[in-house]
Amino acid sequence: MVSTTGSAFQLSIEISATMAFALSGVIAGAQKRLDAFGVFVVAGVAAFGGGTLRDVLLDRRPFFWVEHANWLWLLILLCLLAMTFMRRQHIPVTVRAIQFPDALGLGLFTALGTQIALDMHMPVIVCVLMGVVTAVFGGVLRDVFCNELPKAFYDHQPYAVIAFIGSLMVVILNMLQLSQALSVFLPATLMCGFRVVAIHQAWRLPSWQIEHN
């Protein structure tokens, strides 16, 4: 198995994605008026859930957050700072506030999850799905822990679709033998950008139409 955790570039991407999803979890917990422990838990599952599921499916040990256990302290610090700042500045806790750090995490985690699977020489479709799983399931678990139907399943905004297309882009750029940094960074940037535009323009995917008799 090829080790992918040693790359400083990949580490920086993984830390950025983890903290972005953690911040979305803090905002979601605050929106639900959870106590401090509840906010920590929601932030943790948002930050680590998708990557942990990826590592389980790829039989990759140790889990990324176990190998870099100091990230747990960083998560706690981020939660404390974010909660303090939001309370002092009276920042409104809205659905849209969650979406922007979530968009950053989506792009970064998709590209990184795909690259990790590629480095392990997995089939193309598995690499693509690992990118989607890494990006999507942290948010799914965040919503479940907040007692909500996961937004990725019902809000009809392009989310997993963006991850799927971005993951394919990572695979294609690797096939073209571009540098790993460019193969990860370019799709991640485009995915973040498309997600932000989709939020701003309220793009929606076709919904399932059921006729009632």
Place of tokens 């973040």: 192
Q: How confident is the model at residue 211 (pLDDT cuts 50, 70, 90)?
A: low
Using one digit for the tens of pLDDT, what is the confidence trace for 60-97? 888 888 888 888 898 889 888 888 887 776 666 666 66
Handedness of CA 44, 115, 108, 191 (dihedral sign): negative
Please state at what angle helix 36-57 crosses helix 95-119, rounded to 10 degrees: 30
Supply the pTM of this predicted model. 0.83
Is 211 within the bounds of a domain? no
Is 206 part of any domain? no
| Domain-embedded: residue 122 | yes
In this predicted structure, the answer to whether residue 9 has a pLDDT above a threshold of 80 is no
The range of the structural domain enclosing residue 100 comes to 8-201
In a domain? residue 210: no
Show Cβ contacts of residue 95 under 8 Å, excluding neighbours closer than 6 positions. Answer: 31
pLDDT of the residue at 61: 87
Reported as a pLDDT band with limits 50, 70 and 90, residue 210 is low
Domain count of the chain?
1
Top pLDDT among 99 and 141 is at 141
Do the domain assignments include residue 1?
Answer: no
